[in-house]
Every structure is written in structure tokens, then in C-alpha cells.
Amino acid sequence: MSVWKCPVCGSFMQHRGKSWSCAQGHNFDMAKSGYVNLLPVNRKHAKNPGDNAVMMRARKNFLDAGHYALLLQALEQAAVRYGRAGGVLLDAGCGEGYYTEGVSKALAQADLQMETYGVDISKSAADAAAKRCPNAHFAVGSVYHLPVADRCCDMLMTIFAPYCGEEYHRVLHKGGTMLMVIPGQQHLWGLKEAIYDVPYPNAVRDYALDGFELIQAEYVDSWLKLDDPADIQNLFQMTPYYYKTGREEHARLEQLESLSTQISFEILQYRAVETEQVM
């Protein structure tokens, strides 16, 4: 039985041929790449919500070049610590599937293979993820209304994605693990210095989350040296800064032949608990 639930009536869905359908007769065709669109029209906030094709392509090229391999390795190690053979892994806000694929493979290599699912509101992201990781199941959907049944997941990843604690707590088993990746205060400081006259640090996040107990906070810090202008542009275009700046800032980046910047991540590892047990 799949963990997907029908976005119309909320009942479980089954895979039949090239589509997913529920007992009430609601049917959703799969795309050629293998993902299914479970985002109702009335929950769209734009014609094509989520990351656009430009951002997706830039991120794929940048990540495939191995520039964030240090983060992926640390995330894989965290997943193996808490993985459960035969369990269900959900990547909420999976993007193009880089981390989904890496973690899924690491779990399998550690004899902890888990049934893997990914959800992203962007069609471009779900399509790219399905092509990258054909052994997993991907759907277009919102993390604020996950098309996933209650208490069906053993592990949930949220990596640079919007946080919806109520939904994440709903889909996780009691005692299930949430792996959250957020940027550190100085993440991409060198890039910000190249863009802004007065760069600003990332906001400090409160680790306390309702419904979750913090198990461990792990810090991953390093320096990144980019000597290829194409890599610099890919990094810029995969960040919100590209869309929050104008021609002047874009021109500054286009003139750079090399860039040195700090990369800083926090991997926060949580356990799902009963809400009343949270302090």
C-alpha cells in the first residue's frame, strides 16, 4: 500500500498502470518521467508554483559538480543513524532529488533500505527528481497540505524547504525522525559580499519546535572556491538572492572570474513526540 492519499477525498491511493487512483474513483495520471501531480488547482498560488526551470537547472548543475558534497555526506550519516530497514522516508520539498537520491542510496548500502517518497510544489522539481531517482516515488504537492497519509513515515527530511510542523508531525510515526537542514549564520557570506554593499547574516532559528524533541544539532562548515564563472552563476541563480536583486547586482557577479565563500549548514535531528510532552 502506498503512502499517497487522494488530494480530493483523503483516502489511500494505489498504483494502477500509468496512474494512481483511490477507492472513490479519483484518478491521477503519471507523467512520462514517473511523478504524479497531486496538487489541486485550488491550492495553487501561481500558474506554475515553486522553483522555476532556471533555478532548477542551476541547482542541478551546481550540486552535480559536488560543491555541496560535504553536506550530503553528513546528511547521509545522520540518516543511517536513524534509518529503519523497511520503513518509509519522505523528502518534503525534495527539489531536483539530489539529497533524496544520496540518502536513499546510503541507507540501502547500510542494509537499511527504506521506501522513498518525495514531494515538491514545483513540476520542474518533481520531474527532475523522478528522472534522477527512478526507484523512489515523487509527487507534485504542497508541504502545507502533504498528499501523505497520517502516521505513515519513519523519517522525514526537510532541506532548505518551508517548514510546516503540523503536517510533518501528522505524517510521522510517534518516535519518527525529522532531519532538517538550514543555512548557518555565515552561509554564502562571500557571495553576499560580492552582491550587496552591506551584507547581512542569516537569521538565528529557534531550535524548539512544537511536537518535536531535538536530538542533535550538527554543524557543517567549510570554504568554497569557485574558479569557473559558470559555477558562480549557478550558485547565484539557485539562491533567492538572484530574484531579490537587480541589474546592478547581477552585473557584479557576471564580472567575477572566481569566488571564495564560506558555506555553513546546520543539520537538526528531531524525534516526533506527543504535543503535550514538548516543553
Residue 151 C-beta-side C-alpha neighbours within 13 Å: 5
Q: Are 95 and 129 in contact (CB under 8 A)?
A: yes
What's the confidence (pLDDT) of residue 47?
54
CATH of domain 37-277: 3.40.50.150
Residue position matching grid coordinates 537547472: 57
What's the confidence (pLDDT) of residue 42?
58
Annotated binding site for S-adenosyl-L-methionine: 68, 96-97, 187
* Residue range 118-174, pLDDT digits in tens: 999 999 999 999 999 999 999 999 999 999 999 999 999 999 999 999 999 999 999
What's the confidence (pLDDT) of residue 278?
41
Please say if the pLDDT value at position 44 is more than 70: no
* Residue range 202-244, pLDDT digits in tens: 988 889 999 999 999 999 999 999 999 999 999 999 999 998 9
Identify the burial level of 44 via C-beta atoms within 10 angstroms of its C-beta, where 0-12 means exposed, 13-18 middle and 19 or more buried.
Answer: middle
| Cell numbers linked to 176 | 519518527
- Measured in residues, the chain has a length of 279
Query: pLDDT band at 16, cuts 50/70/90?
Result: confident
What's the confidence (pLDDT) of residue 43?
57
Q: Which residue has the higher pLDDT, 50 or 179?
A: 179
Residue position matching grid coordinates 502545507: 144
Alpha-helix residue ranges (DSSP H) falling in the chain: 53-64, 69-82, 98-109, 123-132, 165-171, 189-195, 229-237, 241-244, 247-254
| Cell numbers linked to 135 | 526507484
Q: Please, where in the chain does CATH 3.40.50.150 lie?
A: 37-277
Annotated binding site for Zn(2+): 6, 9, 22, 26
What's the confidence (pLDDT) of residue 277?
43
d(CA 119, CA 157): 11
* β pairing state of 88-92 and 153-159: parallel
Query: pLDDT band at 50, cuts 50/70/90?
Result: low
Span 66-87, mean pLDDT? Answer: 97
Pick the closest to residue 155 from 219, 218, 98, 80 (CA basis): 80
d(CA 277, CA 214): 13
What's the confidence (pLDDT) of residue 2?
84
Query: pLDDT band at 29, cuts 50/70/90?
Result: very high
pTM of the entire structure? 0.94
Query: pLDDT band at 279, cuts 50/70/90?
Result: very low
Query: pLDDT band at 45, cuts 50/70/90?
Result: low
Q: Are 145 and 43 in contact (CB under 8 A)?
A: yes
Span 190-198, mean pLDDT? Answer: 94
What's the confidence (pLDDT) of residue 46?
52
| Cell numbers linked to 110 | 547500510
What's the confidence (pLDDT) of residue 160?
94
d(CA 62, CA 9): 39
Angle at 252 between CA 249 and CA 257, to 5 degrees: 145
The rounded Cα 198 to chain-centroid distance in angstroms is 29
Query: pLDDT band at 275, cuts 50/70/90?
Result: confident
Please say if the pLDDT value at position 1 is more than 70: no
Contacts of 11 (CB under 8 A, 6+ apart): 5, 22, 23, 24
Contacts of 218 (CB under 8 A, 6+ apart): 74, 78, 266, 267, 268, 269
Span 3-7, mean pLDDT? Answer: 94
Mean per-residue pLDDT of the chain: 93
Pick the closest to residue 125 from 173, 89, 92, 170 (CA basis): 92
Q: What is the DSSP string of 66-101?
A: TTTHHHHHHHHHHHHHH--TT-EEEEET-TTSHHHH
